[in-house]
Amino acid sequence: MDLFEYQGKQYFARYDIPVSPGGVANTVEEAVAQAETVGYPVVVKAQVQVGGRGKAGGIKLANSKAEVETHAGNILGMDIKGHVVRRLWIEKASDIAKEYYASFTLDRSAKQFMGMLSAKGGVDIEQVAAEDPNAIARIRVNPVDGLSEAACREWVMAAKLDDAATDGAVDILMKLYRCFTEGDADLVEINPLILTPDGRVHALDAKVTLDDSSAGRHPEWDAFRGLAQLEAREKMAKDKGLQYVGLDGSVGVIANGAGLAMSTCDTINQVGGSPANFLDIGGGADADVVAGALEVINTDPKVKVIFINIFGGVTRCDEVANGIVEAMSRVEIHSPLVIRLDGTNTKEGHEILEAHASDSMMIAKTMIEAARKAVALVGG
């Protein structure tokens, strides 16, 4: 499981690795509130699981409330390499004298851990490895022996960091090693690891991949999981050309058209339920599209029932009904379906669906009736 930067920093903080104070924000208002708490200047950082956010415009310095508003507004909703930014991390800005790179990962072929350290940080480490491989100092650590402070210091010297950074780097790397091993990670990476003008060494970014095989030992990882899954689901929907927004409730929603999808969410709320998502499948509703939408919603453990709300216009209801039936034969769905189908050829559409109706596939005539059925299923 990959962690978001702010989760990685929380993980680091448990091992006493210095990180900047900050807070999470899902809206511009929350971003301002976090900035006011932390104190200006702050850095507004897009939380997506992909590197190169800085270059993509997802990391911005803000000196005032107005600047936080501008940057948070621009970054929320931004698409960074196919990842839509849904949340921000607002942290106290740091003064930077130098940017380094540090990581621990597994060297599977050598059956050892491998640390990498470079005085050329802040940039893409693959680029450094390609253009100037000697700028990366590597250390191999036998997992049984562990990392001694003496070996760590030698490694830091080999990386030719600035003298002022040596003690701080040794201290952080010893802690990072503990975080990597005791924390059951496959990768811990700090890029950049910075030296401040007043001589402190500090983690400015965090990339952590946890070893899923160790999850049984770490009940506390559950707190990280929901967000990672949501991000994966949003990416999956995007790849399928679907408009998906994850929400907190238990009723999965599939509708055609953004307006209808929004009204569907409202109607679910109106009858006392809560939508698990917004999902607009667009104009058509053929088997491929419906199957794709069901696959996306299927990966959401919060979903207890799926409400399919389709208005047949240019795409007729009988075509839609055939699409739904075909999609159901292709995808093994974990939750019961409640379907409301209206518009052109409603009667033909219902006939097709009714032939397949069961306890796990119910048909409703109106939107409100469908919403009530779906919400009743969640309650009961």
Burial of 1 (0-12, 13-18, 19+ CB in 10 A): middle
Q: Is 273 in the site for ligand GDP (CB under 6 A)?
A: no
CA angle 229, 325, 242 (to 5 degrees): 35
Segment interacting with Mn ion, rule: CB under 5 A, options 40-48, 154-162, 204-212, 330-338: 204-212
Total residues binding ligand GDP (CB under 6 A)? 15
Q: Is 284 in the site for ligand GDP (CB under 6 A)?
A: no
Q: How far is the CB of 20 from ligand GDP (least distance, A)?
A: 6
Q: Is 99 in the site for ligand GDP (CB under 6 A)?
A: yes
Q: How far is the CB of 118 from ligand GDP (least distance, A)?
A: 13
Q: How far is the CB of 219 from ligand GDP (least distance, A)?
A: 29
* CA separation for the pair 321, 372 (Å, rounded): 21
Interface pick for ligand GDP out of 84, 93, 193, 268 (rule CB under 6 A): 93
Q: Which long-range contacts (CB under 8 A, 24 or more apart) does 159-163 make?
A: 159/100, 159/117, 159/118, 159/119, 160/119, 161/98, 161/100, 161/117, 161/119, 161/195, 162/97, 162/98, 162/119, 162/195
Q: Is 295 in the site for Mn ion (CB under 5 A)?
A: no
**Between 36 and 354, whose beta carbon lies closer to ligand GDP?**
36
Q: Which long-range contacts (CB under 8 A, 24 or more apart) does 30-33 make?
A: 31/68, 31/69, 31/72, 31/88, 31/90, 32/65, 32/68, 32/69, 32/72
Kindly list the distances between the CA atom of residue 317 and the CA atoms of 17, 309, 372, in Å, as whole numbers in the listed order.
59, 11, 22
Cβ-closest residue to ligand GDP?
Answer: 54
Give, as ranges, the residues between 185 and 244 that touch ligand GDP (CB under 6 A).
191-192, 204-205
* CA separation for the pair 60, 98 (Å, rounded): 18
Q: How far is the CB of 204 from Mn ion (least distance, A)?
A: 7
List 6, 100, 101, 244, catalytic entry: 101
What does the DSSP 8-state code read for residue 322? H
Q: Catalytic site residue 6?
A: no
Q: Is 102 in the site for ligand GDP (CB under 6 A)?
A: no
Give, as ranges, the residues between 17 and 76 that touch ligand GDP (CB under 6 A).
43, 51-54, 59
* CA separation for the pair 116, 22 (Å, rounded): 27
Give, as ranges, the residues between 163 and 192 that touch Mn ion (CB under 5 A).
191
Give, as ranges, the residues between 110 and 169 that touch ligand GDP (CB under 6 A).
122
Interface pick for Mn ion out of 99, 189, 205, 300 (rule CB under 5 A): 205
* CA separation for the pair 241, 121 (Å, rounded): 36
Q: How far is the CB of 301 from ligand GDP (least distance, A)?
A: 29
Task: Work out what residue 294 binds among ligand GDP, Mn ion, none; the CB cut-off runs from 5 to 8 Å by kind.
Answer: none
* CA separation for the pair 97, 332 (Å, rounded): 55
Kindly list the distances between the CA atom of residue 7 and the CA atoms of 18, 23, 32, 116, 178, in Å, as whole numbers in the listed order.
14, 11, 20, 22, 17
**Cα atoms in the 13 Å half-sphere on the side-chain side of 209:** 10
Task: Work out what residue 252 binds among Mn ion, ligand GDP, none; the CB cut-off runs from 5 to 8 Å by kind.
Answer: none
Q: Is 47 in the site for Mn ion (CB under 5 A)?
A: no
Q: How many residues does the chain have?
A: 380
Please name the amino acid found at residue 158. Answer: A
Q: Catalytic site residue 189?
A: yes
List 189, 231, 295, 319, catalytic entry: 189
Interface ranges with ligand GDP (CB under 6 A): 43, 51-54, 59, 93-94, 96, 99, 122, 191-192, 204-205
| Chain residues that interact with Mn ion, rule: CB under 5 A | 191, 205
**Active site positions, annotated:** 101, 189
